[in-house]
Structure 1
Amino acid sequence: MTRFRPARALAALLLLVLALVACRREPADLAAVPGDPVGAVQAQVKALRDNDLVRYSRLSLPPELHARSEALWARRQAEAEPVDPEDAREYADMMARLTAPDAEKALMRDLEPKLAKFQAEAAGQWPLMQATASIFLGAAIQANTELSAAEKEHGAAVVEALLAWAQPELFTDRERARRAVAALSRTARELELPTLEQARALPMMPAMEKGGVALAGLKEVARAYDFDLDQSLDQATVELVSSEGDRAQVKVSYPLLGKPVAFEIEMQRVGDGWYSADAIEQTETELAEAGPVPAEAAGVAAPAPEAGNAG
């Protein structure tokens, strides 16, 4: 039996959130507030602040496109290969350890030697490690041909803030680690997904509900290390840069770990709502590549339009 690795628990839950949310590149880019691209973005920010990924999903795409995306989710589930037995075993082992009655104590016992080893290895080498990470991540962002110049600038600002925040003494602090482990354990219990088969079988909207639970847990883990995502969302500001016809450019500014960060989103009006033009294009491309997926064939009903509520 493969030994459970506590450090993989956070990564696994993070991957689960990313898989469930299926977000676009921007964290707050979509909504359905009639005639108001700024309100659309504000509504998206509010949904993330509330950990309401069902609402986030409904605000993410025009109703007809959302229904087709939901149908594609269902079709891919039906066509998916069976769960790999080794993956299923590792997932079940991880969730069992996270939800055990003595989870926090057992996980900290396993984590302690790893923290001690990292503490010893990082001593005196952290500036070099930071510089190396900065060069590598910066090069990766610049080499990404799918990112626009503005997106690359935003990515570079995020990396700069994260590298300035990431210090060895932060991650080797035992009390912080205990709070993070406790948050992971509580989140795993609340998810109630003990097997990988159950997680993969979730329809799209129930998956979003579970994703909201996981997102709240990850925010709590981050707060243990003085990384308050809700504070960034609370202080986010949205302003209209330009507007012409059914297109608008919106700027989002927010503080990240004490550093100001901003990016712009191109918004597109569809019907009564405003949505990220990039998200619409990406979803339409994905659907076209997948082939026809009628919503009625998957038993997915088109969602009712969102009410115009930005907050």
Structure 2
Amino acid sequence: MKRLALLAGAGLISLGLAACGGKDAGEPMSEAKVAQQTADPAGAVEAVAARLKENDLLAAVQLMVPAAKLDELRGDWKQAMAKETPSEEERAEFAANMAKLTAPGAEQALYAELEPALVKFETEMAAQMPMMIGMGQGFAMQGIQASEDMTPAQKQQGIDMINALGGWLQTAKLTDRDLAKKGIGIVVATARQIDLKTLDELRALDFDQAMGKAGVAFGGIKDLFALYGLDMNQSFASLKAKEISREGAAAKVGFSYSFLGKELSGETEMIEQDGRWYGKDTVEQLVKGMAGVEDEVADDEIVLEDEEDAVQEDAN
């Protein structure tokens, strides 16, 4: 279940601001609208980018997976929340962190904690940053080149993004005090808008509601990055897709977008199901995730049976 929850949340990449069309956060798009926006492969790619720009993660999920798989995600989310009971320590830690982020004067208190860390970074690590960034770029590129799951086009896109991120990190004002204060303000405002005080409140949310909360967090993360010069909304807004080829229920789509001042491009494979187009990789990964969950459930059942057998043997 944990892998599925991670796939559903983090993979979609993986915690509402009201999104497009005036609908409330956590409220799904109508099936008619989803069908309209996924009627052709290039339009489906652009539609996902538009929903991500609006922080509407639930709508993005609707556009990225078939309706039947979305229903499975909803059901498995509910089962996971019912099964994976957090410890009292986890409950206390979550409540303490949320109370700290949302308390009156949280901005000032958090900056007082951050200031010594900024000083330490400036005096002990700042000079080493160029070397560390370069090493990180090298390791990341090696990982991409060694990947057996990525196509040559995907590898090139990944390398281009790493180079752009490396250049951004070299110039980002990570120790700027005014930016730090503004960043803390974004974090605090986001936590207050999420409005969850306890883990039990989070676990009581259904999948759609959780995606609404996720949209709030996603918006806060984007605002934080934009503060330091990485404008993800500009990238989403600039994305343009064009159909390259189509054969039956399979199509190849090329896309381009602006990222940190650089024009990047890539390709993705799309598949058609019931008149709607989805990313082939997304559907395949979802199927693998479902298979992994089934394996976990089977393992759990085996463990349970073994424990019951052991108890019976002891009783005898």
Shift of 1:161: 0.9
Shift of 1:96: 1.3
1:242 alignment partner AA: S
1:269 alignment partner AA: E
Describe the shift of the 1:169–1:41 C-alpha distance in structure 2 as closer, same or farther (beyond 3 A): closer
- Match of 2:12? 23
- Match of 1:301? none
- TM-score (structure 1 length as normaliser): 0.80
- Match of 1:41? 45
- Match of 1:119? 122
Shift of 1:218: 1.1
Q: What's the CA shift string for 1:97-148, capped at 9, x where partnerless?
A: 1111111111111100101111112343232122211122222333344333
Partner Cα separation in structure 2 for residue 257 and residue 42 of structure 1: 19
Shift of 1:216: 1.1
Partner Cα separation in structure 2 for residue 202 and residue 252 of structure 1: 35
Shift of 1:18: 8.3
Q: What's the CA shift string for 1:195-218, capped at 9, x where partnerless?
A: 233223421100110011111111
Shift of 1:41: 1.0
Instruction: List runs of 5+ in structure 2 lacking aligned partners.
Output: 15-33, 296-316
- Match of 1:69? 73
Is 1:284 the equivalent of 2:311? no
Q: What's the CA shift string for 1:208-267, capped at 9, x where partnerless?
A: 100111111111111211111111111111111111111111112111111222221111
Describe the shift of the 1:291–1:169 C-alpha distance in structure 2 as closer, same or farther (beyond 3 A): closer
Partner Cα separation in structure 1 for residue 133 and residue 11 of structure 2: 30
Partner Cα separation in structure 2 for residue 70 and residue 236 of structure 1: 29
Partner Cα separation in structure 1 for residue 7 and residue 280 of structure 2: 21
Partner Cα separation in structure 2 for residue 166 and residue 218 of structure 1: 16
Describe the shift of the 1:203–1:176 C-alpha distance in structure 2 as closer, same or farther (beyond 3 A): same
State the structure with bigger RCO (CA 8 A, min sep 6), 1 or 2: 1
Partner Cα separation in structure 1 for residue 53 and residue 91 of structure 2: 32
- Match of 1:197? 200
Q: Give SS of 1:222's match.
A: helix
Q: CA RMSD in A?
A: 2.4
1:222 to 213, 225, 238: 225
Residues 38 and 47 in structure 2, CA contact (< 8 A), matched pair in contact too: no
Residues 38 and 278 in structure 2, CA contact (< 8 A), matched pair in contact too: no
- Higher percent of residues as helix: 2
Aligned pairs for 1:154-165 within 5 A: 154-165=157-168
2:87 to 69, 84, 88: 84
Instruction: List runs of 5+ in structure 1 lacking aligned partners.
Output: 1-15, 26-30, 293-311
Is 1:95 the equivalent of 2:98? yes
Q: Give SS of 1:172's match.
A: coil
Residues 8 and 73 in structure 2, CA contact (< 8 A), matched pair in contact too: no
Identity of aligned residues (%): 35
Q: Give SS of 2:173's match.
A: helix
Partner Cα separation in structure 1 for residue 53 and residue 120 of structure 2: 36
Partner Cα separation in structure 2 for residue 270 and residue 18 of structure 1: 21
| Structure with the greater alpha carbon radius of gyration | 2
1:71 alignment partner AA: G
Aligned pairs for 1:247-258 within 5 A: 247-258=250-261
Partner Cα separation in structure 2 for residue 161 and residue 85 of structure 1: 43
Describe the shift of the 1:169–1:290 C-alpha distance in structure 2 as closer, same or farther (beyond 3 A): closer
Q: What's the CA shift string for 1:30-68, capped at 9, x where partnerless?
A: x64354111111111111111111211211211122212
Is 1:109 the equivalent of 2:109? no
Describe the shift of the 1:265–1:105 C-alpha distance in structure 2 as closer, same or farther (beyond 3 A): same
Shift of 1:19: 6.5
Q: After the TM superposition, which parts of structure 1 deviate over 4 Å for at least 4 consecutive aligned residues?
A: 16-19
1:77 alignment partner AA: M
1:269 to 264, 269, 272: 272
Partner Cα separation in structure 1 for residue 241 and residue 86 of structure 2: 43
Describe the shift of the 1:246–1:167 C-alpha distance in structure 2 as closer, same or farther (beyond 3 A): same
Partner Cα separation in structure 1 for residue 135 and residue 233 of structure 2: 30
Q: Give SS of 1:125's match.
A: helix
Partner Cα separation in structure 2 for residue 66 and residue 45 of structure 1: 19
Residues 151 and 263 in structure 1, CA contact (< 8 A), matched pair in contact too: yes
Residues 17 and 211 in structure 1, CA contact (< 8 A), matched pair in contact too: no
